[in-house]
Structure 1
Amino acid sequence: MSNQAVANRYAFALFQLAKEKKQLDKVNNELATIKDVFETTPELVSYLDHPKVTTKQKQEFVQKQFSGSVSELSLHTLLLLIERKRTDILVPMVNKFKELAYAAQDMAEATVYSVKPLSEAEQAEIAKVFAKKAKKSKLEVKNIVDSELIGGIKIRIGDRIYDGTLKTQLDSMKRKLVAGTR
């Protein structure tokens, strides 16, 4: 079975438990934090993958590092992944869990590219306007600063892109001028 299929199964099982315990938001946020730790700390991943470190030592280390900062549900999931030697599926599992949690809450994530950081008010306005376009009740806005855009914003919601940047408009004008059309 592929790693993605296994990750999907773990994510779905965790999703069902979190939903049953009414902890979807909490677990989703904790998993995002755990994913960040794994992605930014290659030493941790190396330690958990090391064949000479016993499963018990790995679990004790993780329990010591994460207990108190994450819920029992998230911690037990992490310990189960270590026990089953499946820490390699953590990132795809977290991504699938997030997808399931957002679908259950009629939410979506919007990545907004802008020349300068957006204020909270601007992000809230973008979330309000584009939630209707995406047919979702709520959007979670993630702002990425990209100085190459020159001006305007580009918004990605799932597989849809709304591009109102000056760079795109200038590129379009350039193509039309080169092609000789108006």
Structure 2
Amino acid sequence: MSENIQIAQSYAKAVHELSTAAGSADAWSRQLALLAEVASNDDMVRYLSDVSRPSEERTKGFLAVVSSELDAAGVNLVRLMGENGRLSLMPAVAEQYEALRAQAEERVTATVVSAHPLSENEINLINAALKKRLNRSVDLHTEIDSSLIGGAIIRAGDWVIDGSMRGGIEKLAAQLSR
């Protein structure tokens, strides 16, 4: 699995360099998202893993589904990955590309999971605090999880703040059980 991640990182890095030079990051994000979605489709997974078909045929079949939505560079990426039998790695390439893009743009995606809907003011305060703390622009998403009882959990990459009542109760229970 680690080898596949390294391979996906190589493709993503090449695409990122290409998109940066051409100023086409948004277009590449859209294309890679589409390619990842198609490559993740159950029928396409079966089709791509059917080794009784030559890789050229599998690549042509994949391109038949996506080529109308791709520019020339996107078609070339599909052909290259198809020649190397790597089309199934497209979701990982898309994920790695987005990580590289976010890093280059000094942007992070954060999620706030709260027990109750947050007000616009609360969202703005959390966004400003995260921007200051992480020294990056923040794409903030919110989710509701009533099992938290109260408070919130904030996740940004590997960084997690658990300010939920459920989290506090679990910490207290762990301390009492020692």
**Shorter-chain TM-score: what band?**
0.7 to 0.9
Residues 52 and 145 (structure 1 numbering): CA distance in 2 closer, same or farther, change over 3 Å?
Answer: farther
Distance in 2 of aligned mates of 1:121 and 1:77: 44
Q: Do the aligned residues in 1 keep the contact of 2:37 with 2:91 (CA within 8 Å)?
A: no
Kindly state the Cα deviation for residue 158 of structure 1 after the two structures are TM-superposed: 1.7
Q: Do the aligned residues in 1 keep the contact of 2:32 with 2:90 (CA within 8 Å)?
A: no
Structure 1 residue 105 corresponds to structure 2 residue 105: yes
Kindly state the Cα deviation for residue 106 of structure 1 after the two structures are TM-superposed: 0.7
| Equivalent position amino acid for 1:80 in 2 | L
Kindly state the Cα deviation for residue 77 of structure 1 after the two structures are TM-superposed: 1.6
Instruction: Note the aligned Cα RMSD (angstroms).
Output: 2.8
Kindly state the Cα deviation for residue 140 of structure 1 after the two structures are TM-superposed: 2.0
Counterpart in 2 of 1:38? Answer: 39
Q: Do the aligned residues in 2 keep the contact of 1:28 with 1:101 (CA within 8 Å)?
A: no
| Equivalent position amino acid for 1:170 in 2 | I
Could you tell me the TM-score, scaled by structure 2's length?
A: 0.81
SS at match of 2:109: strand
| Further displaced range: 48-57 or 153-162 | 48-57
Distance in 1 of aligned mates of 2:117 and 2:78: 34
Residues 126 and 32 (structure 1 numbering): CA distance in 2 closer, same or farther, change over 3 Å?
Answer: farther
| Equivalent position amino acid for 2:77 in 1 | T
Counterpart in 2 of 1:152? Answer: 151
Distance in 2 of aligned mates of 1:144 and 1:79: 39
| Equivalent position amino acid for 2:20 in 1 | K
Residues 123 and 20 (structure 1 numbering): CA distance in 2 closer, same or farther, change over 3 Å?
Answer: farther
Q: Do the aligned residues in 2 keep the contact of 1:30 with 1:70 (CA within 8 Å)?
A: yes
Number of positions where the alignment pairs a residue of Structure 1 with one of Structure 2: 177
SS at match of 1:67: helix
Q: Do the aligned residues in 2 keep the contact of 1:112 with 1:153 (CA within 8 Å)?
A: yes
Q: Do the aligned residues in 2 keep the contact of 1:58 with 1:82 (CA within 8 Å)?
A: yes
| Residue deviations 1:129-157 (CA, integer Å, cap 9, x gap) | 31221111x12234444342222221111
Overall identity of the aligned pairs, in %: 24
Counterpart in 1 of 2:26? Answer: 25
Query: Structure 1 regions of 5+ residues with no counterpart?
Result: none
| Equivalent position amino acid for 1:155 in 2 | I
Residues 123 and 64 (structure 1 numbering): CA distance in 2 closer, same or farther, change over 3 Å?
Answer: farther
Query: Structure 2 regions of 5+ residues with no counterpart?
Result: none
Residues 143 and 49 (structure 1 numbering): CA distance in 2 closer, same or farther, change over 3 Å?
Answer: farther
Distance in 2 of aligned mates of 1:56 and 1:121: 54
